[in-house]
Amino acid sequence: MVIAGLQKTTLLDYPGKVACTVFLAGCNFRCPFCQNWEIVNGKGEDVDPKELLSFLKKRKGVLDGVCVTGGEPLVHDDISALLSEIKELGYSVKLDTNGSYPDKLRNLVESRLVDTVAMDVKNCKERYALTAGTAIDVSKIDESVKYLISDAVDYEMRTTVADELHREEDMLKLSQWIAGAKRYYLQNFKDSDAVPYGNLSPCSDEKLRRFTEIMRPLVPSVKIRGEN
């Protein structure tokens, strides 16, 4: 496992907590809107796990949560060992995942190594591979969706939307898939130097609002990230 980076303080990545964010390198997706493309390919700072744990020991009482993100944290077979050490220090753990490892996700939750989950749901099933940038076993994504909606753990779902990838009919199908999700956010694509391709653009405010109108009958919790 390569710890590709450590953001020492965040008030955004773990809502309701003063937290730090741990970035793990590697991912099984190749999303064209990815903001962490460098670490997706296994690169990054390569923080020593002992240094991370030492930092967390020193910050006890100042920080109360750790967000573990990527890349995709669940590509690593030793993820449970890292989370166990973090939990032993008394921290609450938030896991960011693409949902493609439902068995690992379930095991971590049932082992009480994760307190809340944020799952990226990329698009409707029919356009999942296009949006994730690679061939996808959507049945695995579906398992994770169903598991979270069962309320086995605190969670949110979110979709990063780009004008070229998301259509009104896609959002209707997506709402049918995740109907009843407890917390769900639309995040508008933001271009940056970190994004691997230059062929995407954000949705207009009007299109974002239309997406929420389409989804709200089945996903009443839908909100645009950043709006009250």
Tens digits of residue pLDDT in 93-139: 999 999 999 999 999 999 999 999 999 999 999 999 999 999 999 99
Q: What is the pLDDT of residue 192?
A: 84
pLDDT, averaged across the chain: 94
Assess whether pLDDT exceeds 70 at residue 228. no
Q: Tell me what the mean pLDDT of segment 187-209 comes to.
A: 90
Residue among 6, 5, 73, 1 nearest 45 (CA)? 5
**Which of 11-15, 169-173, 195-199 has the highest mean predicted lDDT (pLDDT)?**
169-173
In sequence order, the β-bridge partners of residue 184 are: 157, 222
Assess whether pLDDT exceeds 70 at residue 179. yes
Query: Going by DSSP bridges, is the β-strand pair 3-10/19-24 parallel, antiparallel, or unpaired?
Result: antiparallel
Q: Tell me what the mean pLDDT of segment 15-23 comes to.
A: 95
Q: What is the pLDDT of residue 45?
A: 78
Do 206 and 212 contact (CB within 8 A), yes or no? Answer: no
Q: How far apart are CA 95 and CA 66, in angstroms?
A: 9
Q: What is the pLDDT of residue 36?
A: 85
Q: What is the pLDDT of residue 41?
A: 79
Do 117 and 183 contact (CB within 8 A), yes or no? Answer: no
Q: Tell me what the mean pLDDT of segment 4-25 comes to.
A: 93
Sorting pLDDT into bands at 50, 70 and 90, what band is 195? confident
- 205-215 and 168-177 helices, crossing angle to 10°: 40
Ordered domains of the chain (ranges, CATH): 3-224 (3.20.20.70)
Assess whether pLDDT exceeds 80 at residue 219. yes
Q: How many CA atoms lie within 13 A of 158 on its CB side?
A: 17
Whole-number Cα distances in Å, 91 to 56, 59, 79: 9, 10, 16
Q: What is the pLDDT of residue 196?
A: 77
Sorting pLDDT into bands at 50, 70 and 90, what band is 178? very high
